[in-house]
Amino acid sequence: MTARIIDGKATAAAQRERVAAEVAELADAGVVPGLAAVLVGDDPASAVYVAGKERDCEAVGIRSLGARLPADVDQATLHAEIDRLNADPDVSGIIVQLPLPAHLDPVAAQERVDPAKDVDGLHPVNAGRLLRGDPFLVPATPLGCQVLLTTYGVTVAGASVVIVGRSQLVGRPLAMLLSLKGAGANATVTVCHTGTRDLASHTRTADIVVAATGVPHTVTADMVKPGATVLDVGINRRDDGTLFGDVDFAEVSQVAGAITPVPGGVGPMTRAMLLHNTLLAARSQRA
Ligand code: NDP
């Protein structure tokens, strides 16, 4: 069997088109959504990520309102800047680009963001709402995974989903999201991690396997049920700079029914869903 490729690039483009149309409608009603990316210091990789997010925003009509702070800024000044953005009505969404310089506390900074503007979905209020079954701003990567599944008609309701990885950013919120009672969810979810005994015995039972470990070859062909859907969240870099995921794509794509490539799978969806969240935040602030 050769798996159907779940094309994250094309799906993200469609999502951006939808967001652009909805942003235009909101702008006609007098509200232009704005995203503020707080970038501290001059880490080149972070600067590239933020520049990419700003380009994405501009392409869909979201204003990007960058906030740059020097590498030696103290926590109180960082918080004051976040407070200023929290109070600015032109700012619908705020992201604090990580990593922060080592002397700063990233969790305290993220918790300083107004939950209504927390488009990364990492504030305890948004994490709590998801846990409670009343999601508002959900982290972009899990949301992107869910949109890929629904776009490709993968049955999630009643499915057995095994997520490998339990991070606050990906594994945990995805488990919450897919086990909600509602459309595109209602799955039976198992979360695996380094404490899991016999990982393959879990993944082999799954209709949907999600790999989010940052470890190459976490999921190999013998670990996948024939016909299962496999989402690869991982981003690993070869010496030549090219990217690859946590799944042994060449082998697993011979067994799986559908699979995301890396690059071009979950990654572009993460970027698109940040735009979706900014739109959602702007709309809810207007209401
Ligand atoms: P973390 O390092 O925060 O979490 C990794 C998780 O994987 C941990 O829960 C860890 O378990 C688990 N794990 C690691 N190795 C194994 C193993 N051999 N077997 C079972 N479980 C294992 O990573 P993130 O969740 O932040 O990111 C995961 C990957 O996804 C990275 O490659 C990251 O770059 C990528 N990523 C991609 C995004 C995208 O848009 N495509 C967005 C965000 C992340 P334990 O808790 O026991 O340590």
Indicate if 120 belongs to the active site: yes
pLDDT for residue 134 is more than 90: yes
Is the pLDDT confidence value at 66 over 90? Answer: no
Query: Both ends of the chain: CA-CA distance in Å?
Result: 50
Instruction: Give the C-alpha separation, 235 to 73, whole Å.
Output: 30
The CATH number of 31-114, from 3.40.50.720, 3.40.50.150, 3.40.50.10860, 3.30.70.141, is: 3.40.50.10860
Provide the pLDDT for residue 221.
Answer: 98
pLDDT at residue 179 in the model: 98
What is the location of CATH 3.40.50.10860 in the chain? 31-114
Q: What is the pLDDT of residues 238-252, one digit of tens each?
A: 999 999 999 999 999
The answer to whether 211 and 141 have CB atoms below 8 angstroms apart is: no
- The 10s digit of each residue's pLDDT in 10-49 is 999 999 999 999 999 999 999 999 999 999 999 999 999 9
Reported pTM: 0.98
Distance 216 CA to ligand 1 centre (A): 10
**pLDDT (average), residues 85-101:** 97
Q: Examine the pLDDT at 287 and tell me if it is beyond 90.
A: no
> DSSP for 243-279?
EE-SB-HHHHTTT-SEE--SSSSHHHHHHHHHHHHHH
Percent of the chain with pLDDT over 90: 99
Q: Is the CB of 215 under 6 A from ligand 1?
A: yes
User: Given this model, what pLDDT does residue 192 score?
Assistant: 99
Mean pLDDT score of the chain, rounded to an integer?
A: 97
Greatest Cα pair distance, the chain, in angstroms, is 57
Residue 52 has pLDDT above 80, yes or no: yes
Choose, from 53, 110, 117, 248, the residue flagged as catalytic: 53
pLDDT score, position 78: 98
pLDDT category at 1 given cuts 50, 70, 90 is low
Residue 188's identity, in one-letter code, is T
Instruction: Considering the candidates 15, 97, 110, 146, report the single residue annotated as catalytic.
Output: 97
Catalytic residue among 56, 114, 118, 120: 120
CA of 191 relative to ligand 1 center, distance in Å: 12
Distance 139 CA to ligand 1 centre (A): 15
Q: Does 153 score more than 80 pLDDT?
A: yes
Which fold, 138-267?
Rossmann fold (3.40.50)
The rounded Å distance from CA 212 to ligand 1 centre is: 4
Pocket test for ligand 1, best of 172, 194, 266 (most atoms within 8 A of CB): 194
- Listed in order, the ranges of the chain carrying CATH 3.40.50.720 are 138-267
Of residues 2, 3, 19, 4, the one with CA closest to residue 269 = 19
> Per-residue pLDDT averaged across 217-227, rounded?
98
